[in-house]
Structures are given as structure tokens and as C-alpha cells.
Structure 1
Amino acid sequence: MATNTYKRSQGTGNSRRSFFSLLENLINVEKFFDKGLPVQFLMPFLFSTVLCIIYIGNLHYAEKNIRKATKLRVTVEDLRADYTTLKADYMYTSKQSEVAKKAMTLGLKESVEPPKIIKSNDEL
């Protein structure tokens, strides 16, 4: 059985290099930290990190409130539609003709003659 081996490039330097190897050569980490960790940049870096975290949290909070406001707006529209429907039904059932129909089922009948005005002697 054959063994696995790596292919070796036989070109004259025209071999393709990977993106990560180019990035590693560009950054060259040892060059930046050869004298130790630069402590003077630690506080500004931490400050900017905290500001970024606060910004992201505020963004999430705002989006949550927008979603909640949208749900409430839909609920208010549904309640407004229900209110309009119920108000129209109430106005229809409170008409004199509808009240008279309901009174007939109870055995009451509508008065045909107008009401009489009673005057007392004090008003004369």
C-alpha cells in the first residue's frame, strides 16, 4: 500500500501562497511584541472595548423596544377596530325602533299618545 506524501512545488517560485500565509507575513506578530506587551495602549484599548460593548447592548435594547412598539401598535389597531364595531352595534340597538321590538318580546307596547305636561300652581 502507498504512503501519503506532500506534493512539493517544482516551479521557479510561481507557486501560489495561501491568503493566511500572506496575512501572517504582513502582520509579523514577533516584530510588534519583540520588546514585550505595550502596556501604554492597554487602557485606551480596554476603554474602546467597553464602549463597543455598551454600543452593542444599546443597539439590542433599541431593537427590542422597536419590536415591542410594533406589537403594541398592532394590538391598538385591533382594539380600535373592535371598539368601532361594538359602538356601531350599540348605536343600532339603541334606536327607538329596535328598543320597541325588544320591548314587544317582553309584552310591553309603545305608547302612541304624546306625554302630557302637568303644571303646578307655583309656576303660574
Structure 2
Amino acid sequence: MENKFKIKAGKPENTSNTPPVESTTSGGGDSMFSGIEKRLKLESYFEEGFPVQYLPKIIFVLVLAILYISNTHYAEKTVRDINAIQAEVEDMRADYTTLKSDLMFASKQSEVARKVKDFGLKESLTPPYKIVVEKGEY
């Protein structure tokens, strides 16, 4: 029994009387993928089955690729979160500035006097005086 999958050394034999058929792709040449396949000689790796000795390296590269992709997604998510929080901080800073100015206006002496006039309280016209305690008097 002859192995039909193995590539024989030398020129392949043409068992039929028909001439070999060349590939017809747009542009007159081979396609990009078939060119890559011919340069890498991928079919030679699978002549005797799947190359198990390369499996750990392939798995390692796949794990690195998955880690790289997940790290990129995590970084993009973090950047989006930072932008959202910065916008929220700017809104809170604007609210703080507005409330602070309102409080400063409401705590002016003239505003307080105007507001307590409704309760019957009046502004004192005599200035406050300082109580001085001598040392040893207390």
C-alpha cells in the first residue's frame, strides 16, 4: 500500500495523460495565503500527524495572546471609568462653588439682619466690648 499523502522527493509524477492545471487567481499569480503556505511549507509539519512536541509552545503563545487582549480591555475600561469620574468631579466642583457663594452671601450681616427682622429681632447698635481678666484674678 502506498502513502498518498507524503510528498515524494523530486518531481511529482503525472499518472494521467492530462496536462497539469495551473491555479487561476485574479492578478495572474498565487493568492497571498497560498504563497505564505508555500514559503512556510506547512504541509511538511503535518506529514506524520499533529506535531505534539510544539503543543506546549503553542499553548503558551495562546495564553500570552489572551492575557494581552484582556489587559488591553481592562486598560480601556479603566480609562473610561477615569473619564466618567473626572466629569463627575467637575460637576461636584461646580456645585460646591455655587453653594459656597450662596452661603457666603446668606451669612453677610445685612442679609442675616434682613432675615431675622421677621422674628422681631433687631441689629444691635452698640459695638461689643472686650472683657479683660487680670492674671491671678480668676
- Answer whether TM exceeds 0.5 for this pair: yes
Unaligned ranges ≥5, structure 1: 1-12
- Which secondary structure does the structure 2 equivalent of 1:37 belong to? coil
Percent identical among aligned pairs is: 47
CA RMSD of aligned residues (A): 3.1
Counterpart of 2:25 (choices 5, 8, 17) is: 17
Higher relative contact order (CA closer than 8 Å, sequence separation 6+): 2
Unaligned ranges ≥5, structure 2: 1-20
Q: Is residue 99 from structure 1 mapped to residue 112 from structure 2 by the alignment? A: yes
Which structure dedicates a bigger proportion of its chain to helix?
1
Change (3 A) 1:106 1:37: same
| TM norm structure 1 | 0.72
Structure 1 partner of 2:37: 27
Q: Is residue 37 from structure 1 mapped to residue 47 from structure 2 by the alignment? A: no
| TM norm structure 2 | 0.66
Alpha-carbon shift at residue 116 of structure 1 (Å): 5.2
Between the two proteins, the alignment pairs up a number of residues equal to 110
1:88-120 Cα shifts (integer Å, max 9, x gaps): 110111010110110112221111122356678
Change (3 A) 1:73 1:120: closer
- The separation in 1 between residues aligned to 2:131 and 2:60, in whole angstroms, is 89
1:42-78 Cα shifts (integer Å, max 9, x gaps): 1111101001101111111111111111101110111
Structure 1 partner of 2:83: 70
Alpha-carbon shift at residue 25 of structure 1 (Å): 6.3
